[in-house]
Structure 1
Amino acid sequence: MSERLQPGDTAPAFTLPDADGNEVSLADHRGRKTIVYFYPAALTAGCTKQACDFTDNLDVFANAGYDVIGVSPDKPEKLAKFREKENLKVTLVGDPDKKVLEAYGAFGEKKLYGKVVTGVIRSTIVVDEEGKVERALYNVKATGHVAKIIKDLGI
C-alpha cells in the first residue's frame, strides 16, 4: 500500500506520455497550480463522466490559474481513443507501470462492490506553484467531484 500524500508534501516529479506519445512533466507546470487527478480506466462510465466534467470546466480552472492533468494506467493509444470518442480537452497521460500512481498514493487496496481489490484509487491532488501538495483527496466520487473541487477551491 503506498503512502498517501499530505498537504505540504513535495509532489512527486513525473514525466509520462500523453495521448499523442508526447512527454508531459509536472515540472512543465511550475509557476501554475496543477490539479492532478487519477482515474482507473479510459472509456469506462465513471471515468468518462469525470473527464467530461474536467473538460467542461477547463476554462474555469485555467482562468483561476490551474492546469489539469488526468493520469490512468492506460497506454497512449487508449487515451487517444478516449479523447477522440468523448471530445476531451483535458491533458491525459498514461502510467502503465503504475509508478506515478503508487508515488501519489493512488494505487492500492480499495473496496469495489463490497470486495477488497487492488487497483487505482480515484484521487485528486492539487499542487501549488512551487510543486507542493495543497490538497490531497482520496476515494473521490466520479460524479460531482469537479463541482466540489471548484467550490472547495473558491473558484
Structure 2
Amino acid sequence: MKTIKRLSILGLFYVMLFALGFSLLENLESKKVYPFEHVQVGFYSSVKMGFIIFLIIYLPITIVTDLLSTDKKYKIFWGILKTPFFSILGVVIGQLIFYMTYPEWVELSGYILNKETALIIFGLVGFIYSLITIIYKKKF
C-alpha cells in the first residue's frame, strides 16, 4: 500500500511539473508564431499528456529503478545514475513535445524558434522528478 501511495504522489508531482513546463514553453515560444500557425494546447490537455507520459514511460522506469536500488550491490549505482537518466529522458521528451507542438514548416516559414528552450525546460522537469523520487524513497 505504501508503494501505491508513493507512486501516486510521484505521478501527481510529475503531471504538475510537466504541465507547468509545457505552459512555460507555450508562453516563451508561441509569442514568436502567429496563432493560426501552430497547435495551441491548453493547460488541461498538457495535464492529460503528462499523465499519459507518466504512465507509459516514467512509471515503469521508476518501478524498475526502485526494485534495482533495493539490492545492496546496486543501490549506490542506481542512486547516482537515476538523476542523469531522468534528466536525459526529460530532454528526449522535450524534443518530442517541441516537434509535436511546432512542426517543421513553422521553422521553414521564417520563425526563429529555440528548440533548446524545450530541452532545458523538460530536462529540468526530469531532474526535479528524480530528486523528488530520491526524497520520497527515503521518506516512505
Greater fraction strand: 1
**Normalised by the size of structure 1, how large is the TM-score?**
0.27
- Give the helix-richer structure, 1 or 2: 2
Q: Which protein is bigger by CA-based radius of gyration?
A: 2
TM-score when normalising by structure 2: 0.29
